A and B are shown apart, each in its own frame.
Chain A
Amino acid sequence: MGQYEFNTYETAWCPGCGNLGILSSLKNTLEELDLNPQDVLVVGGIGQAAKMPQYIRTNSFCGLHGRGESAAVAAKIANQKLTVILHTGDGDGYGEGGNHFIHNLRRNIDIAHFIHNNQVYGLTKGQASPTADEGAVTGVQVDGSINIPFNPLLMAIAGGAGFVARSFSGRPQHLEEMMKRAILFKGYAMVDILQPCVSFNKVNTFSWYNKRVYELDDSHDAGNRLLAMERAMEFGERIPIGVLYEKEQPTYHEKHRSLREGQILAMRRNDLALVDKYMQEMI
């Protein structure tokens, strides 16, 4: 453990909620990485999962439903010294923020994105989320969801992400390992974290997940995109957890003329002599 304390606060989550485990794993990971709270920014959108920034002692940004994804990457653009960690639910991240999710894959900005995937909308009391199983019965999907479940890992690999992993809130050691690797990874790194919702999802429970998940071992070649996609399509009786795909590639910051030398935009002003020159160009 490092020298810094990432104290956590009393939460508004249900007893037994998977979020509690994710919070303590995040705290352990940050301490283990010996990060300084002032250098860490935790961003969330809206939802139970997205309340994460409220509960940990770091800089915090609680944005709008689905839009934490946009704010997080821009904060990293403005100050690349910040370690930016984005927490969203599956509704927040893949539903309302689905468009931002897709385009963040393409941007490859160096943030870690942890998605608490409980296959349900928790905060609004139990409607189907994009990852809900076909047939899931809710107060809105009264005859069972008729839509095909969204496959976030397949999407992420196809969309260009360099680090794509899955973990389970019920396996803290595994989760901390995934969080650590995602934070250390250079570029956009996503971890889809399976998480039981004790109040609104009576099907995908702790034991439901626990029975199905298996840890990927050395036999999986995480550098192979096609094999990774194949793994990503495995979801049902057996669910792989671990790093499905990992490949470093140039980041947004490395490619951007205004950022590639480590420039910080925060507090910066522009050179007025340049503006004078631009005025002259118009004469």
Chain B
Amino acid sequence: MYNLLIGGAAGQGVDTTAAILERLIKQSGCGVFTMRDLMSRIRGGHNFSRIRFGAGAPRCHSESLDGIIALNEETIAIHRENLRPGGFILCDSAIKTDDEFAIKLDMAAIAQELGNARVAGSVAVGAALKLFGIPMSTEEAYSIFRKSVKEEHVDINVKAAQAGYNAVPQKFEHTAGEASDQMLVSGNQTLAMGALTAGVQFYSAYPMSPSTSIMEYLAAKSGEAGIVVEQAEDEIAGINMALGASYAGARAMTGTSGGGFSLKVEALGFAGMAELPLVVANVQRPGPSTGLPTRTEQSDLKFVISASQGEIPRMVIALRHHEDAFYQTVRAFNMAEKYQIPVILLSDQYLADSTATIPVLDPRRIALYQPEEGPAGDYARYRFTENGISPRKLPGMSKDLVAADSDEHDEYGHIAEGSEMRTRMMNKRMGKMALLEEELLEPEVLGDSAPEVLLLGWGSMYGPLEEAVELLNQKGGKRYGALVFGDIWPLPQKLLKKMAPSAKHLIHVEQNYTGQLAALISEVTGIKTDAGILRYDGRQLSGEEIADRIAKEGF
């Protein structure tokens, strides 16, 4: 597996260069995982992307680098220490460095000669491919540049890439895998595709990094798909609009990050009270307050499982990787509609913005929930039933009148304050959770299934944990395994209760300060962890770092 970093200032085209490179690499058959590290600014600062690729399928990023494309000097200063001996630093000759691994190329001059100084990045693209021994066919180059630059600039960019390709010698051996006919997608894109598959008709949200690209993807498809994407005036409008649309019968969703989620909290409770199906994505970034807008964290877990005054039935699904984001989003719509509850999808910047190669997703794998027809006769929206789920009708679709009420209410949705009605309605709503718990998905086991050291994680820690367990088990000696939670509220307990007693050590691995999963597990099951591997600087733990820290702490 190789690891290539492209770094530069915001505005220098780091992201575009990375997007073109990762496609060309993928087209050669390599599996790809690209992690984006962006600063929250439009110009200046330091941005970089790390493209990890190889014959296998990388599931997370890695710190140690085989190559660096430095669009400025700062990139070298910051990342040089991670370069493996024998690696390369590809940069323009104008960049001041006497590094032994530097490969200087007159990129600006080549670009200028071709007629446009701005295609220097494409010279670097071609050169990097050659250094890694990756073939670049003219045809492939054309088709990929066509996707990322304006038609009139395609030709010159391809020529620039070819010039770069011819200007350097090959340095590494290329081993292709099977990824060329796979998809290369970001976590927010698979989430959005899941929503489309699930039949989302209405998405209303207020822009907030790192959730905005969900709205952008859906908006781009909205005309063709015939759906409505509404940019609301604030997050409160975003969720209340989604609830109005849901009430009227459209599959509806809203999405945001922690700050916006905070504003949506009252309406989340309303969804629970009024029994309106709703999917809410919270793509986490480091808080509190505005925090680190473009970075990653897993610190909203305890917040979203209890957000709302009062008590409501809800489900929280943590998205673990790109495929998971797709299938769990489809499932979230089904669960929301079946149980008439809000379902929260908990993602984060690491998953949302990173791109990965995955097998083509199957939009027919999960059947869409078909609501059951209720009994004929007198209709009451909040009819008491055995399992607490009242047959849901839609306004204007039959002669029956449909209510939604945020006050406590009777079966017809009329305000009710009596003690008995209140108690029965609470029991009805909260009682739905018992049925839901029967369909929970247990966490996924990685590595050894009866390990001595059991690592516990959730959401996007999936990829790093998969690699960490693999590295630890390769060393021989102790057996390591991990449980990675997707369904996280209500907390599935069966596997955990089965595996925990035989493990000597339980270690939680999370991207937060307090160990929120560990606290939740302890609260729900009484099972306590022995130690935590935590990180909360806005940068995701890599598999290598987890393995190192486990070894250092003597587990």
Contacts and interface: CB of A to CB of B under 8 A. Distances in A.
Chain B binds chain A: yes
A266 B234 CA distance: 24
A276 B183 CA distance: 12
Interface string B392-408: 00111111111111110
B248 A82 contact: yes
A275 interface: yes
B197 A100 contact: no
Contacts of B406: 46, 62-64
B241 interface: yes
Contact of A41 (B182, B395, B414): B395
A166 to B, nearest CB: 25
B249 A278 contact: no
A71 B243 CA distance: 6
B304 to A, nearest CB: 19
Given A266-B394, A283-B181, A61 B240 contact: no
Contacts of A64: 240, 266-267, 270, 406
Contacts of B234: 99
Interface stretch (A51-59, A124-132, A139-147, A173-181): A51-59
Interface stretch (B223-231, B422-430, B461-469, B474-482): B223-231
Interface stretch (B90-98, B157-165, B360-368, B501-509): B360-368
B196 interface: yes
A263 B360 CA distance: 31
A33 interface: no
Contacts of B228: 77, 256, 258-259, 265
B413 interface: yes
Contacts of B399: 38
Contacts of A256: 228
A99 B363 CA distance: 38
Contact of B248 (A46, A78, A278): A78
A72 interface: yes
Contacts of A82: 248, 395-396
A77 B230 contact: yes
Contacts of A276: 363
B363 A275 contact: yes
* Highest count of chain B CB atoms <10 Å: which of A73, A81, A263, A282: A282
A270 B199 contact: yes
Interface string B214-235: 0000000111111110101110
A265 B398 contact: no
B141 interface: no
Interface string A5-35: 0000100100000000000000000000000
A267 B394 CA distance: 9
Interface string B176-210: 00000111110001000100110111101000000
A267 B277 CA distance: 13
Nearest to A277: B224
B401 A63 contact: no
Contact of B247 (A75, A99, A263, A283): A75
Contacts of B414: 9, 54
B240 to A, nearest CB: 4
Contacts of B407: 62
A39 B237 CA distance: 24
B352 interface: no
B244 A38 contact: no
A1 interface: no
B112 to A, nearest CB: 34
B401 A71 contact: no
B362 to A, nearest CB: 9
Contacts of A257: 222-223, 226
Interface residues of A, number: 57
B241 A275 contact: no
B453 interface: no
A63 B450 CA distance: 50
B227 A270 contact: yes
B435 interface: no
Contacts of B189: 282
A37 B399 CA distance: 8
Interface in A232-283: 256-259, 263, 265-272, 274-276, 278-280, 282-283
B363 A60 contact: no
Nearest to A99: B233
A271 B224 CA distance: 10
Nearest to B199: A269
B415 interface: yes
Given A67-B236, A103-B237, A74 B224 contact: no
B233 A100 contact: yes
A138 interface: no
Contacts of B250: 77-79, 265-266, 268
A15 to B, nearest CB: 19
Contact of A275 (B193, B244, B270, B394): B193
B402 A278 contact: no
B390 to A, nearest CB: 15
A102 interface: yes
B198 to A, nearest CB: 8
B375 to A, nearest CB: 18
Contact of B401 (A60, A78, A259): A60
B243 A63 contact: yes
A60 B415 CA distance: 12
A102 to B, nearest CB: 7
Given A57-B401, A283-B360, A71 B183 contact: no
Q: Closest 7 CB pairs between A and B?
A: A266-B249, A71-B244, A74-B244, A70-B240, A78-B248, A59-B395, A74-B241
Interface of A: 9, 12, 37-39, 41, 43, 46, 51, 53-54, 57-64, 67, 70-79, 81-82, 99-100, 102-103, 256-259, 263, 265-272, 274-276, 278-280, 282-283
Interface of B: 181-185, 189, 193, 196-197, 199-202, 204, 221-228, 230, 232-234, 236-237, 240-250, 252, 266-267, 270, 360-361, 363-364, 368, 394-407, 413-415
28 contacts: A9-B414, A46-B406, A54-B405, A59-B396, A59-B402, A60-B402, A61-B244, A63-B270, A63-B404, A73-B241, A74-B240, A74-B245, A75-B244, A75-B395, A77-B230, A77-B250, A78-B202, A258-B227, A265-B228, A268-B226, A268-B250, A270-B201, A272-B197, A274-B225, A278-B193, A279-B360, A279-B363, A282-B185
Given A37-B401, A276-B363, 13 more contacts: A72-B244, A74-B230, A75-B247, A78-B247, A99-B234, A99-B237, A102-B233, A257-B223, A263-B226, A265-B202, A270-B227, A279-B360, A283-B360
